[in-house]
Structure 1
Amino acid sequence: MRTLEWNAESGEMIMIDQRILPARFERVICRTAEDTAEAIRNMTVRGAPAIGVSAAYGMALALLRARTDSADALWAELERAGALLTAARPTAVNLAWAVQRVLAECQPARGSAAALREQVVAVAERMADEDVEVNRRISTFGAELIQDGDTIIHHCNTGALATVDWGTALGVIRMAHEQGKRVHVLVDETRPRLQGARLTAWELSQYRIPYEIISDNMAGHFLRSGQVQKVFFGADRVTANGDVANKIGSYMLALAAHSNHVPVYSVFPTSTVDLSLAHGDLIPIEERDPMEVLGLEFEGQRVTPADAQARNPAFDVTPNHLLTGLVTENGVVYPPFVEHLPRFVRPAA
Structure 2
Amino acid sequence: MVSASSLLLPSSVRDFASCIGDGAVRVADVAACTAPSSTRVSTCSSSSSTTASSSSPTLSVTVSYRATLLAAPAPPLQLRLTWGHSPLGPTLSFAPSPTARAIQLRRRRGSRSVPSGSSSGDENGGGGDESAGTTPPPPPLALFWDLTAARYDPAASSPEPVSGYYVVAVASAEVVLAVGDLAAEFVKAKFEGQIPRARVAAVSRVERVVVSDPAAMHAARVRFAEGGPEHEVSVSCAPAAPGSGGGGDELWVCVDGKRAVQACRLRWNFRGNQTVFVDGAPVDVMWDLHGWWFREPPGCAVVMLRARSALESRLWLEEEAAAPGFSLIVQAFKSPP
TM-score band w.r.t. shorter chain: under 0.3
More strand by share: 2
More helix by share: 1
**TM-score, length of structure 2 as denominator length:** 0.23
**TM-score, length of structure 1 as denominator length:** 0.23
